[in-house]
Amino acid sequence: MDQSSREHTIRMDRFHSWHPFTQMLDWMASDPLVIERGEGAYLTDAEGRSYLDANSTIWTNLHGHRRKEINRAVGDQLEKIAHVSYLGLAHGPGAELAARLARLAGNGTSLQRVFFSDDGSTAVEAALKIAYEAARRLKGDPSPKFLSIANAYHGDSVGAVSLGQIPAFHDSFGGLLFPVDKVMNPSCYRCPFNGARYEKGISSTVTRKCQWQCLEQIDDACRRREKEHGRSYAGFFVEPLIQGVAGMVVQPEGWLSRACEIVRSHDGWIILDEVMTGFGRTGPTFAFQKAEVMPDILCLAKGLTGGYLPMAATLCSEEIFGAFLGTYEEMRTFFHGHSYTANPLGCAAAQASLDLLEGPHDGAHRSWQAEMLTKCLAPLWDIPIVGDIRQCGLTAGIELVRNPETREAFDWREKAGVRVCEKLRDFGVLTRPIGNIIVIMLPYCSAEREFTLLQQSLVHAIGDFYQEWKESGLNNSARK
Ligand SMILES: *Cc1c(COP(=O)(O)O)cnc(C)c1O
């Protein structure tokens, strides 16, 4: 891109674009990074500099950019048709993708029915409405209620925000939301009960004195609801194995299966949000396969098309699907859907992406990558402000703290995460922080070269930030 077209882009952007989750006054005060191309694990900006895509384009990209297999599949589909409505019509790409997802996620028996939508939020919204209506019909619950965990993120639409438990969003839109009960999340590093000791080089996890209060709270909540309402929760919405937006919070081993067991013993459905964890991020194709939990409803999005096109799927059991069957006059239809449901280009991209996921980027390849990631992050423990490193398969979060002994957090105004990510960018690595947590998620095409670049950049970026912060004297003026 020549300089004048880059400047033109920036000017048009400044006057007309409104970016997500962005304070636009800050945004408009400086020139944004303009990305022009992508190739494999790298993005190239309008001035020809390349960057490692270390958060997989906000957790969507699986196999790298401009994969010839996916390009070809989308191109072939374009020769037939780009889009046709799923309302009243069927098509091969939709039917075949539904069947493949049902086979991958439920062996074709447990999660047989697939409802397509557009993104993570719409997948969750569909799950919510399906579960709500099915609970009224199958469980005879006149006012079904749901349970979720602290700091859960399930998307931005009003239903998904209600299910989520992120205080900033609830503060803004509280008046629009419906009540969803909350229990603590299993965040060992910040657990108010176990006070796990700081052990250098060892990620926070349950200690011997842990009494699993996080599980007790689920049981207590289910019992309370049963006592007050006659029925417990219609369902439990949860991100399996790791909560992403909460700050890459990895659940301790055994938590998910035990939590689900408790909810099931109170006749509640398990609704898993695998929008982030799906398609190999945690190792297996789906996180629930590692935890040996079978959901009643499953939400998929981000990686479904390999990061090519917006598309999502909500899978459910035949039991739940059955609640919507009846004669025309009975009005049991699921009254819900979108214009671009089951877009054939998205389906074609998804099929090619799944071929790669079951081919060169299969479970064995992903295990190797998870090991590479562990080795890549290990030296970071030596930097005094690295408090915790949490990894789940191919995803990781590095939590920066003022003091690793006391776990005292950086004040958000110190912008520790933002400043480290700015430095990473200077070293040719792009990612975004969540508060003081640096998120790492490489595309599956990454090889040794990428892990080496990532390691060196992290060591220098965090190390340089630490030096500057120490020299500024702010570390001595710790708040009392
Ligand atoms: C990103 C995300 C969503 C929302 O997906 P969008 O495509 O951004 O609407 C929902 N749940 C989880 C767990 C996510 O990570």
Q: What is the secondary structure of 43-108 as a DSSP string?
A: EEETTS-EEEETTHHHHT-SS-BS-HHHHHHHHHHHTT-S---SSS---HHHHHHHHHHHHHHHTT
The total of other beta-carbon atoms located within 10 Å of residue 183's CB is 22
Per-residue pLDDT tens digits for 332-347? 999 999 999 999 999 9
Q: What is the pLDDT of residues 129-159, one digit of tens each?
A: 999 999 999 999 999 999 999 999 999 999 9
- What is the whole-number distance in angstroms between the Cα of residue 399 and the centre of ligand 1? 21
The stretch 169-189 carries a mean pLDDT of 93
d(CA 332, CA 131): 13
Answer with the residue of higher pLDDT: 386 or 477: 386
Joined together, the tokens standing for residue 149 give 């965990």
Say how many Å lie between the CA of residue 155 and the centre of ligand 1. 5
Judge whether residue 478 has pLDDT over 60. no
**Range with the poorest average pLDDT among 237-241, 280-284, 406-410, 473-477:** 473-477
From 19, 117, 153, the mutation candidate for ligand 1 (largest count of ligand atoms within 8 A of CB) is 153
pLDDT tens digits along 14-38? 999 999 999 999 999 999 999 999 9
Pairwise CA distance, residues 57 & 438, whole Å: 14
pLDDT digits (tens, 9 = 90+) for 85-126: 999 999 999 999 999 999 999 876 789 999 999 999 999 999
CA of 39 to the centre of ligand 1 (A): 24
Q: What is the DSSP letter of 146?
A: E
* Structure-derived torsion over alpha carbons of residues 133, 137, 138, 139, reported in degrees to the nearest 10: 90
pLDDT at 168: 87
Task: Dump pLDDT digits (tens) for 413-448.
Answer: 899 999 999 999 999 999 999 999 999 999 999 999
Q: How far apart are CA 134 and CA 128, in angstroms?
A: 10
Percent of the chain with pLDDT over 90: 90
Domain with CATH 3.90.1150.10 in the chain: 33-62+361-477
What type of residue sits at position 339?
Answer: S
What are the tens digits of pLDDT across the range 299-325? 999 999 999 999 999 999 999 999 999
Residue in this structure with the two tokens 């390349």, named with its chain if needed? 50
Atom 11 (ligand 1) nearest CA: 154
Identify the band that residue 196 occupies on the pLDDT scale cut at 50, 70 and 90. low
Give the whole-angstrom CA distance, residue 305 versus residue 57: 13
Pick the residue whose CA is nearest to atom 15 on ligand 1.
276
Kindly give the number of the ligand 1 atom that is closest to the alpha carbon of 301.
7
pLDDT for the residue numbered 198: 61
CA of 154 to the centre of ligand 1 (A): 6
- Residue pair 234/135 in contact (Cβ under 8 Å)? The answer is yes
pLDDT of residue 292: 87
Q: For position 151, what pLDDT does the model report?
A: 97
Question: How does residue 2 score in pLDDT terms, banded at 50, 70 and 90?
Answer: confident
What's the rounded Cα separation, in Å, for the pair 276 and 150?
17
- Among 170, 178, 126, 132, CA closest to 152: 170
Q: Say if CB 242 and CB 275 are below 8 A apart.
A: no
What pLDDT, on the 0 to 100 scale, is given for residue 477? 53
> Which atom belonging to ligand 1 lies closest to the Cα atom of 157?
9
Atom number of ligand 1 nearest to Cα 310: 7
Query: Which pLDDT value is given to residue 332?
Result: 96
Mean pLDDT of all residues belonging to the chain:
95
Instruction: Say how many Å lie between the CA of residue 191 and the centre of ligand 1.
Output: 25
The per-residue pLDDT for 479 is 46
Atom of ligand 1 nearest to the CA of 243: 13
Query: What would the pLDDT profile of 240-264 be if each residue is shown by its tens digit?
Result: 999 999 999 999 999 999 999 999 9
User: How far apart are the CA of 460 and the centre of ligand 1, in A?
Assistant: 31
pLDDT digits (tens, 9 = 90+) for 74-83: 999 999 999 9
Taking a C-beta distance cutoff of 8 angstroms, is the pair 128, 303 a contact?
A: no
| 121 C-alpha to ligand 1 centroid (Å) | 6
**Ligand 1 interacting residues, C-beta cut-off 6 A:** 119-121, 124, 153-155, 239, 244-245, 273, 275-276, 301-302
Residue whose C-alpha is closest to residue 178's, from 218, 128, 122: 128
Distance CA 476, CA 469 (A): 10
Specify the pTM: 0.96
CA-nearest residue for atom 8, ligand 1, is 120
Residue nearest to atom 6 of ligand 1 (CA): 120
Q: How many A from CA of 299 to the centre of ligand 1?
A: 10
Residue identified by tokens 């520790």 is 416
First to last CA, the chain: 52
Atom number, ligand 1, closest to the C-alpha of residue 155: 4
The reply to whether CATH 3.40.640.10 applies to domain 72-358 is yes
| CATH class of domain segment(s) 33-62+361-477 | alpha beta
Ligand 1, pocket-test mutation among 116, 121, 163, 238, most atoms within 8 A of CB: 121
Task: Give the lowest-confidence range in 30-44, 190-204, 278-292, 297-311.
Answer: 190-204
Q: For ligand 1, what atom is nearest to the CA of residue 312?
A: 7
Question: Six-digit token pair at 282?
Answer: 């945690």
DSSP 90-122: --HHHHHHHHHHHHHHHTTTSS-EEEEESSHHH
> What's the sign of the alpha-carbon dihedral 209, 210, 213, 215?
negative
Cβ(302)–Cβ(59) under 8 Å?
yes
**Residue 1: pLDDT band by 50, 70, 90 thresholds?**
confident
Q: Please, which residues have CB within 8 angstroms of residue 377's CB and are 6 or more apart in sequence?
A: 389, 391, 396, 398, 440, 455, 458
64: left (phi over 0), alpha (psi -120 to 50) or beta: left
Stretch(es) of the chain classified as CATH 3.40.640.10: 72-358
For ligand 1, the distance from its centroid to the CA atom of residue 369, given in whole angstroms, is 24
8 Å CB contact between 292 and 254: no
Q: Whose CA is nearest to atom 5 of ligand 1?
A: 120
Q: Please tell me the distance from the alpha carbon of residue 76 to that of residue 65, in angstroms, as a whole number.
A: 18
Report CA(187)–ligand 1 centroid distance (Å): 20
Q: What percent of the chain has pLDDT over 70?
A: 96
Instruction: Measure the CA–CA gap between 415 and 223, rounded to whole angstroms.
Output: 42
Closest residue by Cα to residue 141 from 267, 321, 259, 330 = 267
| Helix, strand, or coil (residue 415) | coil
Confidence at 405, pLDDT banded by 50, 70, 90: confident
| Contacts with 364 (C-beta within 8 Å, 6 or more apart), sequence order | none
Residue 200 Cα to ligand 1 middle (Å): 32
Which residues does 45 contact at the CB level (< 8 Å), separation at least 6?
33, 34, 35, 36, 51
Above 50 in pLDDT, residue 480? no
